[in-house]
Structure 1
Amino acid sequence: MSRSSKGLLVLGLVAVFAAFLAMPMLTVRALVAAAKAGDEAALERLVDFPAFRESAKTELTARLMSEMREDSRSHDSALGGLGMMLAPMLVGGAVDALVNAPTVAAMVRTADLPDPADSGAPPPPVEAEGDGDIRQSYGYRDLNTFVLRLTDPDRPDEPLKLLLKRQGLFGWKLAGIDLPEARPETAAT
């Protein structure tokens, strides 16, 4: 193999490695752009909705169970135990009804979870939301998971982490969520 052939081979391998590392960042940029534009078709291509729903169900159920365990009122009643048994079903139904392209777009624009009370209401117009202040950071969690961290400056301790998972060698899709830790309620003064 000649010296120029080896150089081209090395250059080609470097280009493939750079593309391998850069693809999730390009997917994040496309996801954010589609969310800001309200482009549902693009969001449908960029989100693995079944995996995202399962992740949201797991996260929300864990948070709800944790909050119920910490609530002293739930320990004192039979209703508390019933609530802990029914919580996964209730969360599952709400997630199935809520998680769609407009909801994901709103999450990306606001760094906030949707309010289940708004499930029947149409999503607010894109211009009505102050999406310019949301801070974005991202990085690899592992070789097959890339994290987009969205932080509202008004709630810096409650970042929303969206997880992109590798789909094949170069493809990435939004497939999970890490919710901010539930903050204990403080007594109003």
Structure 2
Amino acid sequence: MAVPTRTKGSATRPLIITLLATVVIAALGFAYATPYIALNNLKRAADARDAQTVNQYVDFPALRVSLRQQVTGLLERRLGEHSNGNPLAALGAMIGVALIGPLVDAYATPDGVAALLNGMPPRGDPGERPPAPPAVNNPPDAAAAPAAPAPGAAAESATQPATNTAPPQPPQTTAGYRGLNEFAVTYQHGAGDARYSAIFQREGLFTWKLAAINLNE
């Protein structure tokens, strides 16, 4: 009785199916990771004030609209809280409403994006601007080194309370999908502090851009 022989095509078919399955799984994994990659790239570019790269990951027209809506809502809530209280506080909130435009202009910049992604959202204060980028810490040379203290100065300084110069703690951050086309990063400094979110929107299949914030999480 003749034994059926396997053709070359039938022998390679399982290999082709395995390769196709591997490609599909890899593509799905990459697609899932794309907003995390965009967030990482945007934060690094914003911290470095790399405007060209920031522009690739931020939908500035949409972010401006969102900033205006969110800051307006923030000041309206503040005005409502103080309507039966301190009239000066209410006046300050009203002044803040008039200054929304400059605040939005200040935060729709690489400096503003860096502040949003480092847990420093706008508070709606008059004249508010995002914090300036930190100065580069260059090691002091020998000529700039401070002079040695006098003999009695060490004992005197030891009696003075130490100044707390510890930098502020970074905010607690969580990130995840809120839908097929929306990805949010939520920031909170402490258990009792207010939360806010930076929201990325999908553009195309693999592209994500920062398009909105939510100051009332």
TM-score category (smaller protein):
0.7 to 0.9
Q: Distance in 2 between matches of 1:136 and 1:159?
A: 10
The yes-or-no answer on 1:147 pairing with 2:184 is yes
**Of 94, 107, 114, the match for 2:103:** 94
After TM superposition, the structure 1 = structure 2 runs for residues 37-48 of structure 1, keeping only pairs within 5 Å, are 37-48=48-59
Q: Which amino acid aligns with 1:172?
A: W
From the CA coordinates, give the structure whose radius of gyration is larger: 2
1:184 alignment partner in structure 2: none
1:60 alignment partner in structure 2: 71
Task: Name the one with the larger helix percent.
Answer: 1
SS in 1 for 2:200: strand
After TM superposition, the structure 1 = structure 2 runs for residues 11-160 of structure 1, keeping only pairs within 5 Å, are 11-73=22-84, 87=97, 90-113=99-122, 116-119=126-129, 123-125=132-134, 130=167, 133-153=170-190, 157-160=193-196
CA-to-aligned-CA distance 1:72-124 (integer Å, 9 cap, x gap): 349x9xx99xx5xx94x6424531344211111123224332655244x9824
Q: Which amino acid aligns with 1:40?
A: A
The 4+ residue runs of structure 1 with deviation greater than 3 A are 126-132
TM-score, length of structure 1 as denominator length: 0.74
What is the CA distance between 1:24 and its match in structure 2? 0.2
CA contact (8 A) 1:56 1:176 kept: yes
Residue segments in structure 2 that go unaligned for 5+ positions in a row: 1-9, 138-165
TM-score, length of structure 2 as denominator length: 0.65
1:185 alignment partner in structure 2: none
The yes-or-no answer on 1:172 pairing with 2:208 is yes
The worse-fitting range, judged by mean Cα deviation, of 160-169 and 2-11 is 2-11
**Aligned residues, how many?**
172
